Structure 1
């Protein structure tokens, strides 16, 4: 069977020009090196080199394997280097799953300085509205889960990184824009726009409307935050979003925020597998997320 050490011997012989020098480079004895190739030649049924005085000349079969060695060995050596860097927390791909759909803008403010601080670590973000975050963590599809609603499960841990308030966003000309805070009953005649998520996972329903046995007149779903807020600005409905996100859009859209009852306080959590060995670049992301969130978004 052709093995990596056979390719390494052929490359070393070609580079060094003699069996003795090649054996020294590979930390082998010359007899051991020659014996290894002799056994391979017997299995392959063809010689790989011929001696011409003190020189070694590769046969056609030997030259073919040398070209193979020149392609494969650098890839294997790079793979070993990368894996060692991953093991030491210096390199890898940080895979992030999103369950907090409007939090994408917040995530960008963390990812940007993170990529500068960790140039050998790539970031992959999975943002799906029917995303099974807990299952993805267990299945090793992601390394971190961004969520406002952590579920306590064995083998998982969740760390809060950012506090915010969920508010109602309305157009500046909407009658509710004059209110400081609203009650659930004031949404009975409204069109409520949300992301396409199950009702039980929408805070405006689970924490505000349903406890008061209230429902909006109409419920629409829109996937993108920009279109949602354009609809709100045009008076086509109202929406519940993080207060910091509404503040960002107020400078370029005619929308305003209104408190939901006494205030709906929320947190963004980063979930991870607690059973995993601590990885430097993953821990660094969590710390940066906390630091970033200490300053106004």
Structure 2
């Protein structure tokens, strides 16, 4: 059974005349007759009562016509949805990003973009870097904005900006009295870390790995604001980006020994994956406004 046969039958059911139906379909009347006959043979039941070129639906045809009308309506709705999705000025962009970037960075990007293209809509997801790349590989999202701590075959990255990382300390902690903090000193205090799979955790592990030391982790979480709250409660120290501090002088932020402790934020997409026009335009906007002009599918960094 072919879609065209259903369209032919629906037109016959509507006009109930072979010649007029053939004209509406811009085909010959014999070709239309053959199409309907083939459909009836496949179904094993006549659908029409014929009187010359005039026809009417029999009870089987009337029953089948209801289903065909619904099927064709669904096809048209699907075509309309695809047309909307392919509209570069009014489609949908599916974007996954780090939770910490949801505080200011991503909202600022989306605000700037929707000011230019107000009909664009976004599907937004937040997760660990590892989970985001899983979604990207599986085609569940168009692109990812995350720390560049993991590379995979078929995923291309472009660096956007760097963020300095800081030591966050309870105000009563001895290290809070210093202008700078040594990374090795952080390892000696109760440490509040992100879970495995998050970019911040990868950077933290790399930092302490270079020092050949292991921090005393007392909490592993997913939210930087939760980590900050635990620091404010005096439960430990943490390594976090420059974020708004709602805890006032309960939390002290200090640079880390001038060593340039940073994380690279980048945008990732499937190298050979197809991007809808709206997503392609958004990626171009992000790269032009925020990009550092550096693209890499692989880079020298251990996971």
Q: TM-score, normalised by structure 2?
A: 0.78
Aligned pair count reads 287
Residues 20 and 254 of structure 1: is their aligned pair in 2 closer, same or farther, counting only changes over 3 Å? farther
Please say if 1:257 is aligned against 2:240: no
| Distance (whole Å) between structure 2 residues aligned to residue 46 and residue 196 of structure 1 | 63
Structure 1 residues 235-274: aligned runs within 5 Å: 235-243=234-242, 245=243, 248-250=244-246, 254-262=250-258, 263-274=260-271
Please say if 1:223 is aligned against 2:219: no
| Distance (whole Å) between structure 1 residues aligned to residue 235 and residue 289 of structure 2 | 34
Structure 1 residues 155-234: aligned runs within 5 Å: 155-197=154-196, 201-207=201-207, 209-234=208-233
| Distance (whole Å) between structure 1 residues aligned to residue 50 and residue 241 of structure 2 | 77
Preserved CA contact (<8 Å) 1:97 1:146: yes
Preserved CA contact (<8 Å) 2:147 2:265: yes
| Distance (whole Å) between structure 1 residues aligned to residue 26 and residue 16 of structure 2 | 16
Aligned twin of 2:131:
131
Aligned twin of 2:296:
none
Q: TM-score, normalised by structure 1?
A: 0.80
Question: What is the SS of the residue equivalent to 2:131?
Answer: coil
Question: What is the SS of the residue equivalent to 1:239?
Answer: strand
| Divergent runs of 4+, >6 A | none
1:240-284 CA-partner distances (Å, limit 9, x unpaired):
1111x2xx2347683231101213122211111222345422233
Aligned twin of 2:144:
145
RMSD: 3.3
1:64-110 CA-partner distances (Å, limit 9, x unpaired):
12111211102112323434555665676544444x44223333443
- Aligned-residue offset at 1:196: 1.3
Question: What is the SS of the residue equivalent to 1:249?
Answer: coil
Higher mean C-alpha displacement, 3-12 vs 122-131: 122-131
1:94-149 CA-partner distances (Å, limit 9, x unpaired):
44444x4422333344345656736465514251475272x544443443233312
Aligned twin of 1:284:
281
- Aligned-residue offset at 1:154: 4.6
Residues 122 and 29 of structure 1: is their aligned pair in 2 closer, same or farther, counting only changes over 3 Å? farther
| Distance (whole Å) between structure 2 residues aligned to residue 272 and residue 108 of structure 1 | 20
| Distance (whole Å) between structure 1 residues aligned to residue 252 and residue 286 of structure 2 | 27
Question: What is the SS of the residue equivalent to 1:270?
Answer: strand
Residues 250 and 174 of structure 1: is their aligned pair in 2 closer, same or farther, counting only changes over 3 Å? farther
